[in-house]
Chains A and B, each alone.
Chain A
Amino acid sequence: MPSTEPGRPSSGGRSLVRRVGLVAALTAAGASLATLSVAMVVVDYRVTSDAEDDALERARALAAELDAEARAQQAVTQAQLEDELREFSHGDVTLAVWEASGRLAGDPALPSPAQDGCEASAGPDGAWMVCRASSASAGRWVLVGEPRSQLLAHREPLLLGGLVALIVVVLGGIFAGISVGRWSLRPLVRLQGALTAMDAAAPQPAPSLPRSGMVEIDDVAATIDDLLGRLRVELERSRHFAADAAHELRTPLTKLRTELELRAEEHDEGSHEGRQLLRSVARVEDLGELVDHLLVLASPESALRGASLVSVSALVEAVVEDLDADASRVRLELEDDGAVVGDATVLSAAISNGLGNALKYSKGPVRVGVQDTAEHVVLRIDDEGPGLGEEARARAFEPFYRAPEQRGTGGHGIGLALIAHVVAAHRGDAAFVDDGPGAHLVVRLPRHRGVRPEQT
C-alpha cells in the first residue's frame, strides 16, 4: 500500500487545503477590491463637492467685495485687483476677475463658464473645476478654480492606505483560508491516517475506521468500511479456497506417490520400467512442491511471519543438502549464522526457490552467501547464467511473470513471487541487482539483534 503521511498531499497532486485557501484569499481580495472602488467613488465625490463649496464661497466673498466697492464708487486699479485676488487665493486654487469685454485680472488659464455656479470645464491646458460668482453692481464676475488633476491628488494618501489594506486583507485571506481549509479537512486527514495505519493483510473487524461526527466524512468512512468488509469476505473466501484446494490435492498426491514408489520397488532400479516409475515419483514430488508454494502464495503475510529464531545459513545448508546432483555446483560462502525471526519452513521454501532458479538458468557454479550487516541479514545468490534484462529485473517478482527469453524453459513462474511474498511477510526486501554477467539475487531480512555474530 502506498503510504502517505497524513495531512500531506502526495507529491504532484493538487492540494485541497491549498485550493480552499486560494479560493478564500481570492474571495477576500475581490471583496476588498470592490469595497475600495466604492470607497474611491465616494471619496472622489466628497473631495470634489468640498472643493466646490470652498471655491464657491471664496468666489461669492470676492464678488461681494467687488459689489461693495462698486456701490461706494471706488475706482479699482488693475494692481489693486491683483492684490485682492492674491489675498483670496489658497494653495492650488487660483482666481480671475472677468467683465463682459474679457478678463480683467488673475489666472489667464481659468476658463470662464457662462453662468454662476460650479462646473467641470475644459481649459486650454486640461480639465478644471471652476466656480463663478457675479457682482451685479460692478458688472463683473469672479472665477475660482482648481485643475482637476490637483484636486484628485488630495485622495492619494487615501488610495495608498486602501492598497495597503488590500494587501493585508489578501495575505490574511490566504492565511485564514489555509487555516480554515486545514480545519475543515481535519476529519478527512484523520480518516486518511486511520486508513494508512490499517494492515491490509489483517484488517480489523468493521467498523474499523474512526467516526468524526461530520456527516459527509462519516459517509465516506462508512462506504470505505463497507467496501473493506466485502473485500475481506472475498479475500477470506479466496484464501480458504486456495488452502482447501491445496489440502484436497495433498491426499491424492500422497496416494499416487506411495503407489508409484511401491511399484518402483517391485522393479529393478536399472530396468526401463523402474526408471520410468522413479521419474513419475519425481514428477509427483514436484506437484507436491507446487501445491506447497501455491498455499504459501495464497496465505496472508501475517500467517507466514512466524516467531521462531531462524539461522538463514542453517536453512541454506539444509536446502543445499536436499539438492542431490546439483549440490556440487553450489559454492557456499556462509560468513555468519544470519539470525532472523520468522518461519523456517516458508523461508526455506523461498531460499530453495531462489537457488533452484539460479541452478536452472545457469549451467555453471552458483554462489550462495550469507552475511550480517548492522541492520540486515543479507542472502546473495549469484549465478553465471544469462542474467536478467532491466525489464525482467523489475518484473521478475510478479506472479507468473516469465521473461521473454525464459519462456518455454519449464517452471511455473511462481518461484520468485513466492520469494517476494515470504520476504515481504518478514519485513525484508528482495531484488535482482545489476552486478556484471549472470543473475544476482539479493534478499535482505531484518537481523535479530539479540544474537551477535559469533567468532569461531
Chain B
Amino acid sequence: MRVLIVDDDPELAELVSRSLAREGHAVATAADLESARAALVEAFDVVILDLGLPDGSGLELCRELRAAGASVPILLLTAQSAVGERVAGLNAGADDYVVKPFALAELRARVRALGRRRESAPSVTYRTGDLEIDLSARRARRLGLEVELTPREWVVLECLAGSRGRVVSRDRLLEEGWGESSEAASASLEVLVGRIRRKLGRDAIRTVRGQGYAID
C-alpha cells in the first residue's frame, strides 16, 4: 500500500515510516500542509495526518480532501484524548484516529484496516427505533445522545449494516475486524457484539445461531 505521512516532526515521521516500510508499505512523508497538498497529486491508499502542523491544522486538509471528493482513508494522530478533538476529527472526514503515544502494532493494524476498507466502504445512514447510525461519519446516536464506539466495533457494525437484513457469517466478521479467525478472535467477536448491544440496545444486532449475526 502507498501511505502518506503528514507530520512536522521529522524524527517521528521517520520512525513511523520505517515501521510501515518494514511491513512492506511504500511510504512518503510531508512536513506541512503545503507539501502534503503537493504530494496528494499522486494517489495514496492511506494518509496518516498529524493535527498540529506549522501552517495550519490537519483538520483543514481533511475537510479540503473530502470537499474535493477524495475518498482516501485518513488516520489522525492526535495528542489529545479529549472527546471534542476526536469528534471534530471524525466530523471533518477522518476515518480513524490514534492517540499519542500509540503502540506501533495498533498503528499498523489501523493502517491495514483502513486500506482494506477502501474497497468496500459502505455509505449508509439508518434509523431504527431510538437508534440513529451514520456509517460514513461513524456517528451513532441513541435517544438523541451520542454513543461512542471503538474503531473495531465500527468495522463490525459497518460490515453488518452493509448487508442489512442478511446474515453475515462469523468468519467474514472475524476477517474484517481481526484479520484472522483464531479461537481467541472468535471469543473476542462475541464479547464485542455483546458490548455493541450494551451500547446500542439488545435489539441492535440479531444472533443467527450457527451462522452469524444480522442487523434488521
Q: Which of A102-110, A195-203, A246-254 contacts B (4 or more CB under 8 A)?
A: A246-254
Q: How many residues of B contact A (CB 8 A)?
A: 35
Q: How far is the CB of B206 from chain A (nearest CB, A)?
A: 13
In whole angstroms, what is the CA distance A292 to B148 when docked? Answer: 19
Contact of B198 among A251, A253, A257, A311 (CB under 8 A): A311
How many A residues, CB 8 Å from partner? 41
Interface assignment of A295: CB less than 8 Å from any CB of chain B: yes
Q: For residue A2, give the distance in angstroms from its CB to the closest CB of chain B.
A: 30
Kindly list chain A residues whose C-beta atoms are within 8 Å of the C-beta of B194. Answer: 317
Inter-subunit contact A454/B83 (CB<8 Å): no
- Residues of chain B lying within 8 A (CB to CB) of residue A321: 188, 191
Taking a contact as CB atoms under 8 Å apart, the answer to whether B195 and A318 are in contact is: yes
Over the window 79-110 of chain B, the binary record of Cβ atoms lying under 8 Å from chain A Cβ atoms (1 yes, 0 no) is: 11111000000000000000011111100000
Bound CA–CA A450/B144 (angstroms): 10
Is residue B11 within 8 Å, beta carbon to beta carbon, of the partner chain? Answer: yes
- Give the distance in Å from the alpha carbon of A186 to the alpha carbon of B92 in the complex: 53
Asked if B166 CB lies within 8 Å of chain A CBs, one says no
Tell me, rounded to whole Å, the shortest Cβ–Cβ distance linking B172 to chain A.
Answer: 22
In the complex, the chain A residue whose C-beta lies closest to that of B195 is: A314
A288 within 8 A of B: yes
Which 4 A-B pairs give the minimum distances between C-beta atoms?
Answer: A309-B145, A254-B101, A311-B198, A314-B198
Q: Which residues of A contact B (CB under 8 A)?
A: 247, 250-251, 253-259, 261-262, 265, 284-285, 288, 292, 295, 299, 303, 306-311, 313-314, 317-318, 321, 337, 341, 343-345, 448, 450-451, 454, 456
The minimal Cβ–Cβ distance linking B147 to chain A, given in whole angstroms, is 5
Q: Which residues of chain A have C-beta atoms less than 8 A from B102's C-beta? A: 254, 257
Smallest Cβ-Cβ distance to A299: which chain B residue: B82
Task: Given the known inter-chain contacts A261-B104, A317-B191, please indicate yes or no for A345 contacting B198, CB distance below 8 A.
Answer: no
Interchain CA distance A313-B201 in the complex, whole Å: 13
Given contact pairs A308-B83, A317-B195, enumerate 17 new A-B contacts (beta carbons under 8 Å).
A254-B101, A255-B9, A256-B101, A257-B102, A261-B104, A303-B82, A307-B145, A307-B146, A310-B199, A311-B198, A317-B191, A317-B198, A318-B150, A341-B145, A448-B145, A450-B143, A450-B145
Q: Which residues of A contact B100 (CB under 8 A)?
A: 250-251, 253-254, 288
* Nearest opposing residue in chain B for A451, CB measure: B143
C-alpha spacing A450/B105, complex, angstroms: 39
- Contact partner, A310, options B12, B80, B130, B148, Cβ 8 Å: B148
A391 to B148, CA, bound (A): 38
A262 vs B11: C-alpha distance in the bound complex, in angstroms?
Answer: 13
Could you list which residues of chain B lie within 8 angstroms of chain A, going by C-beta atoms?
Answer: 9, 11-12, 15-16, 18-19, 22, 79-83, 100-105, 130, 142-143, 145-148, 150, 188, 191, 194-195, 198-199, 201-202
Report Cα–Cα, A196/B103, bound state, in Å: 46
B22 touches A265 (CB 8 A): yes
Q: Is the CB of A251 within 8 A of B9?
A: yes
Complex: chain A residue closest to B87, CB-CB: A308
Contact B81 A262, beta carbon cutoff 8 Å:
no
Give the complex CA separation of A337 and B199 in angstroms: 8
Pairwise interchain contact B195-A255, C-beta atoms closer than 8 A: no
15 contacts between A and B (CB under 8 A): A247-B80, A254-B101, A257-B102, A261-B105, A262-B15, A307-B146, A308-B148, A309-B145, A310-B147, A314-B195, A321-B188, A344-B83, A345-B83, A451-B142, A456-B202
**Are B16 and A309 interface neighbours, CB within 8 A?**
no
Q: Are A258 and B191 in contact (CB under 8 A)?
A: no
Give the complex CA separation of A309 and B147 in angstroms.
5
List the B residue with the shortest CB-CB distance to A370.
B198
The answer, among A313, A344, A454, for a CB contact under 8 Å with B148, is A344
A369–chain B nearest beta-carbon distance, Å: 15
Residues of A within 8 A of B22 (CB): 262, 265
Which B residues are CB-close (under 8 A) to A456? 202
Residue of B nearest to A309 (CB): B145
With A250-B100, A284-B101, A317-B194 as contacts: A259 and B83 at CB distance below 8 Å: no
A242 to B152, alpha carbons, bound, how many Å?
31
B81→A292 contact, CB < 8 A: yes
Given A255-B11, A259-B15, A308-B146, A313–B104 Cβ distance below 8 Å? no
Q: How far is the CB of B17 from chain A (nearest CB, A)?
A: 11
A343 to B85, CA, bound (A): 13
Contact of B16 among A258, A265, A288, A318 (CB under 8 A): A258
* With known contacts A309-B142, A309-B147, A314-B199, A257–B101 Cβ distance under 8 A: yes
